[in-house]
Amino acid sequence: MQKLVNSKVLVTGGAGFIGSNIIEALLLQGNYVVCLDNFSTGKRQNIQPFLENPKFRMIEGDIRNPEDCKKAVEGVEYVLHQAALGSVPRSINDPLTTNEVNVTGFLNMLIATRDAGIKRFVYAASSSTYGDHPALPKREDIIGKPLSPYAITKYVNELYANVFSDLYGIETIGLRYFNVFGKRQDPDGAYAAVIPKFLKSLINGEAPVINGDGSHSRDFTYVENVVSINQLALLTQNPEAVNTVYNVAFGENTSLLELYDQLILNLSEFIPEVKSIKPVFGPTRKGDVLHSLASIEKASALLGYHPRYSLSQGLKEAIRWYYEALR
């Protein structure tokens, strides 16, 4: 895989789960990295290992503040915009804050990028943009009606990016993430993602709650695959590969019940007694799509994206990390 070296990169939301994994890789490759985060959902411990690195700079600030955005882009060559307020349920409970962060904050970062003369802006888009369109696998050029405020905000990001590319010549690339998981993903709180939430319950000897009957399926994507495509998006010199969006996934879907069985199988190597834990079934969540599966043909053809980690390979890595972190 191509790797970025000797470059100066801004990672917004760098104290978050995905952002901190991206920063770790970029620093290991000898890049200079600026992190902008307000720690609303990001964790200080996620960036703690980087603080002594002379090539790392931390800016505590908010993308809703234009001055913080302007400060963060000073002297950087690329922007990896990961900052957002995630979670469909959170957006249903508080649509205004989700919009302020995900739309106003996104626009602030685009303006700062434009004004600083930065050529390429790569941003975290979302599979939620596909909404109610039933076709599987999901292909980038066919979307449906959004099912949540969160989904609306992520689609608006794509519209703004396209307009800024057309009007101001910024090269933008949107990466529609599909259910990313891996080390440093927060297992706590009402809006925790399913894999860390299930793992924490199981490690504590508790029964996880599956929303619905367990038949919902997702294209679970290990975080190292996401790290790799962010770098490919920065490095591509193909003019056809910019000013567009890509699915970021492994290209296979797994039901929640199948996921649960894989978690039990892998975790039982560390905690044999988890085999006796049965899940509890709760109500289906509002705004959730039933099934999600990505076509990754476009990313493969234009960016050279070939994900190295399947769900089972990623789970082995993630479970080892969570077992050591949570026990």
Catalytic residue positions, numbered: 150
- Helices 17-28 and 223-235: crossing angle in degrees, nearest 10, is 60
Cα(209)–Cα(302) distance, integer angstroms: 40
Cα(79)–Cα(19) distance, integer angstroms: 12
If residue 81 lies in a helix (H) or strand (E), which one and from where to where? strand 78-81
Cα(235)–Cα(301) distance, integer angstroms: 15
Cα(44)–Cα(14) distance, integer angstroms: 10
Cα(64)–Cα(12) distance, integer angstroms: 12
Q: Are 223 and 18 in contact (CB under 8 A)?
A: yes
Q: Are 232 and 304 in contact (CB under 8 A)?
A: yes
